[in-house]
Chain A
Amino acid sequence: MGITLEPMTTTTNTADATQNASEPKDTPEREWTNPLRDPRDLRLPRIAGPCSIVIFGVTGDLSRKKLLPAIYDLANRGLLPPSFGLTGFARRDWSEDEFREFVKKNVQEHCRTHFSEDTWTQLAEGIRFVRGTFEDADAFERLSDTVAELDRDRGTRGNHAFYMSVPPRDFPLVAKQLSNCGLAKSDSDAWRRVIIEKPFGHDLESAKRLDTVISEVFDEDSVFRIDHYLGKETVQNLLALRFANTMYEPIWNANYVDHVQITMAEDIGVAGRAGYYDGIGAARDVIQNHLLQLMALTAMEEPLSFKACDLTAEKTKVLSAVKLPKDLGAHTARGQYAAGWQGSHEVVGYLEEQGIDPDSTTETYAAIRLDVDTRRWAGVPFYLRTGKRLGRRVTEIAVVFKRAPHLPFDSTATQELGKNALVIRVQPYEGITLRFGSKVPGGTSMEVRDVSMDFNYGSSFTESSPEAYERLILDVLLGDPPLFPTTREVDLSWKILDPIEEFWSTLGQPEPYRAGTWGPAQAAEMLARDGHRWRKP
């Protein structure tokens, strides 16, 4: 009844698959290639190998709204292995079932793909809970036992990722506890990885200190610094836009670009994050990581490949070439939101927010000018701004071009013509807008006015692209780090920001701005000095 298909040749197996078998351990594993994988076979998704993920701070907002749903969505998309474990570590007095209920409730509320009982049942089998505090060595022993039990019963094979969804001040303690109970290191075949969220320190010194603590416990290449903005499709789309097309690269330089504005505006206040935010402020919270990374991706040269090391090399070059303005007072701006109306909603000012020191000098709005000292960008200012309680929630990169050197029209014809701009919208409505001049129809005289051409990522491709965390968590489990900033990048970012923070600390109270507007007056003045104005995105 059966049929046997004979192999192509008489030797038993392909050469690459046989090598490791007979030879002793000194042949590096890396040389082995999976005979079932072929670079031409683009259909095959990469599925993570057997592993588990341990979440510290599993009851927090990030975990409830992003991490747990993202893990479920990955499972639902078939990208998690059959041998998968998820362990929550928290203070709550929960049984394992209560924790499962907690996970289920949050997954149902926030998952992107549809909720399937089958996927859930399978995922739930690998869910464990360990109760304890970070000081409690016994709790970490229990965690160690739980993880060993997962290895035994679920076949996770000693591969474990530790997600630190906890305040940075707890990193050293958790890292030390992991090291003490032997979880931080593993034998040769298995891996241990640690995922840390921003902020990566609050200045160069603290970032280095944090790094020392982490690197004592984990190897540099097992540390994944998550910046969820870098997991967004648009960031990769930015790379595609720049390096897969011919029409942008020739004008992507100082000959044509007038200036670049990178904005991340939030409409919300600090509510709920007061304890963390006060004393940190907008620049450390957003500019140091998100905006400098977006700037590096916008300004960098073409990488040799999209491998992590090549991308990092180019980003590092740009960050090393950043030059601060001489007069920080004239080319930076800071503000603090005052009470006002956010759209149709009355809101309190920063100083009246619960949990904020009423004399706080923390800025909720920050704008800085940076220059990139390279031939490509000589004389092109990069303006980075971020703030809370601004007009709208929007993140975008706007490349503003120079005016045409000569306009063969009457000056009256082009009085309404602005500068051409290419806007890469990161969120919401991921996509690209091109602004250029077009003739106003009819009339007897020539009149040119700005119009927009729009590409909406969502309407051309998928209605719902994967959530950034799905991508990033999968990258961690696959050990594929192209989108994660390295220590060197983090250090360079702090080197850029530290002098500005130092200067700001001498200034006292930031300038108040009415909630719901686009920031303090000094931000507008800062650009006006250079002859520009902020976009109102």
Chain B
Amino acid sequence: MIITMKDTETNEISNKIDELHEQRGEAALGRVLTLIIMTDETHLEDSLALANEASREHPCRVIAIVPSTRKANGEEHSRTYLDAEVRFGADAGAGEVIVLRTRGGLSHHLDTLTIPLLVPDAPIVAWWPTDAPSDPSAHLVGAMANSRITDALRSANPHRTLADLQRNWSPENIDMSWTRLTVWRAMLAALLDQPPHLPITSVKVTGPKGFLPMDLLAQWLRLRLNVPVTIEDEPDATAVTGVYLTRKDGVLSLERRPADQGEATVSVPGQQPQRTPVPTRTMQECLSEELGRLYPDEIYGEVLKALPLDSVK
């Protein structure tokens, strides 16, 4: 169900939501957080679909803020107004969705615009699905959020975005480039869990040139293992294709070639190589993982701070 509210006010939206909750016999108390999405009309539906899926695991209220594209006539051109949509039920996953289309002065007061609509006393997660501000913690909505999710890879200039994020790092920030690595990192850690526990002497990582998650992975391995890590470019790759850990008894490797095939091969010295399904992580899995953890990720902070972004460019 989608209810369109043209030229409205926040308390009207708020009343509408209360009214719908009452009508539908639902309690709004089950919502564990408010997810605020900063996007534009082009990416709105995509982002909402992801948020709705994620809300099945983390019931939340979703507020999407998009600059209005409504054609304005004559004097309306300079006027400030707010159009809204409230979505419930099948159109809103396991929570409710509020779309706010703002024009004029409102766009400079996004924090006070959303405050009356937040789930009371619950964490706030701010998410920029594509382009992010250079300092998310200074953004009005970002400043009040408990967690700020950016996605440098999907921004117009991934390297510049990550360089900005590095410069303006704050413990509550997280970039999806890091989230995309969790499965690889977990598999590598599991690989080293197994005896013999010989020291790793060098590491090679392969993938497409300048691929941010690969750079983060290489940096993580360098920081954790304290050995030289070589990054080898693989021209046609679409994601990380392999990690090779050298130790005295040979090379342990985790390979996924081609990267979108969804099957990885694990090789350990003296053992038959084993195949295992490792599908490319979906955006929805990444978003769900981020909504599941709201504490600062210190490991990511350390890796990001050590990333030599200028030389990678």
Taking Cβ atoms with an 8 Å cutoff, the residues of A that contact B are 1-9, 11-14, 17-18, 20-21, 29, 32, 34-38, 40-50, 78, 81-83, 116, 118-119, 121-122, 125, 152-155, 157, 189, 456, 459-463
Cβ contact within 8 Å between B224 and A6: no
Contacts of A43 in B (CB 8 A): 182, 185-186, 289, 293, 297, 299
Counting chain A CB atoms within 10 Å of each CB, the highest count among B58, B209, B227, B232 belongs to B227
Interface residue B147 (Cβ < 8 Å from any Cβ of A):
no
- Closest-CB distance, B213 to chain A (whole angstroms): 14
Cβ contact within 8 Å between A13 and B293: no
Interface residue B85 (Cβ < 8 Å from any Cβ of A):
no
Contacts of A37 in B (CB 8 A): 189, 193
Which residue of B is nearest A116, CB measured?
A: B277
Interface residue B278 (Cβ < 8 Å from any Cβ of A):
yes
Cβ contact within 8 Å between A50 and B194: yes
Interface residue B276 (Cβ < 8 Å from any Cβ of A):
yes
Contact with A along B260-286 (1 / 0, CB 8 A): 001110101001101111110000000
Cβ contact within 8 Å between B182 and A118: no
Contacts of A462 in B (CB 8 A): 56-58
Cβ contact within 8 Å between A47 and B186: yes
Partner of A5, one of B186, B228, B266: B228
Cβ contact within 8 Å between B298 and A7: no
CA distance A362 to B95 in the complex (A): 49
CA distance A36 to B194 in the complex (A): 12
Which residue of B is nearest A119, CB measured?
A: B277
CA distance A463 to B199 in the complex (A): 42
Cβ contact within 8 Å between B182 and A8: no
Contacts of B189 in A (CB 8 A): 34, 36-37, 44, 47
- Closest-CB distance, A455 to chain B (whole angstroms): 9
CA distance A11 to B199 in the complex (A): 12
Cβ contact within 8 Å between B182 and A21: no
Which residue of B is nearest A155, CB measured?
A: B271
Which residue of A is nearest B94, CB measured?
A: A463
Cβ contact within 8 Å between B272 and A155: yes
- Closest-CB distance, B174 to chain A (whole angstroms): 10
Interface residue B239 (Cβ < 8 Å from any Cβ of A):
no
- Closest-CB distance, A252 to chain B (whole angstroms): 25
Interface residue B156 (Cβ < 8 Å from any Cβ of A):
no
Residues 226-260 (chain B) with a chain A CB within 8 angstroms: 226-233, 248
Cβ contact within 8 Å between A49 and B272: no
Cβ contact within 8 Å between B197 and A3: no
CA distance A36 to B231 in the complex (A): 18
- Closest-CB distance, B289 to chain A (whole angstroms): 7
Contact with A along B51-69 (1 / 0, CB 8 A): 0000011110000000000
- Closest-CB distance, A200 to chain B (whole angstroms): 31
Given contacts A36-B188, A81-B190, A461-B58, contact A13 B272 (CB under 8 A): no
Contacts of A44 in B (CB 8 A): 182, 185-186, 189
| 29 A-B interface contacts by CB (under 8 A) | A2-B231, A4-B228, A4-B229, A5-B218, A5-B230, A6-B228, A7-B226, A8-B226, A11-B226, A12-B199, A14-B199, A17-B225, A20-B197, A29-B197, A34-B189, A34-B192, A34-B193, A35-B200, A36-B189, A36-B221, A41-B299, A43-B185, A47-B190, A116-B277, A119-B277, A121-B277, A125-B275, A155-B268, A157-B271
Cβ contact within 8 Å between B192 and A36: yes
- Closest-CB distance, B89 to chain A (whole angstroms): 15
Residues 207-228 (chain B) with a chain A CB within 8 angstroms: 209, 218-219, 221-228
Cβ contact within 8 Å between A463 and B57: yes
Residues 108-143 (chain B) with a chain A CB within 8 angstroms: none
- Closest-CB distance, B32 to chain A (whole angstroms): 5
Cβ contact within 8 Å between B233 and A2: yes
Cβ contact within 8 Å between B222 and A5: yes
Contact with A along B277-310 (1 / 0, CB 8 A): 1110000000001000101011100000000100
Cβ contact within 8 Å between B190 and A13: no
Partner of A78, one of B30, B278, B311: B278
- Closest-CB distance, A57 to chain B (whole angstroms): 28
Cβ contact within 8 Å between A7 and B190: no
Contacts of B198 in A (CB 8 A): 20-21
Cβ contact within 8 Å between A118 and B262: yes
Known: A43-B299, A461-B58. 12 other contacts (CB 8 A): A3-B311, A5-B308, A8-B223, A9-B226, A11-B226, A14-B226, A44-B185, A81-B276, A82-B264, A460-B30, A461-B57, A462-B56
Contacts of A461 in B (CB 8 A): 32, 57-59
Contacts of B59 in A (CB 8 A): 459-461
Residues 67-124 (chain B) with a chain A CB within 8 angstroms: 94
Partner of A49, one of B94, B183, B193, B200: B193
Given contacts A3-B312, A6-B228, A116-B277, contact A21 B248 (CB under 8 A): yes
Cβ contact within 8 Å between B271 and A83: yes
Given contacts A17-B199, A29-B195, contact A3 B230 (CB under 8 A): yes
Residues 149-203 (chain B) with a chain A CB within 8 angstroms: 182-183, 185-190, 192-201
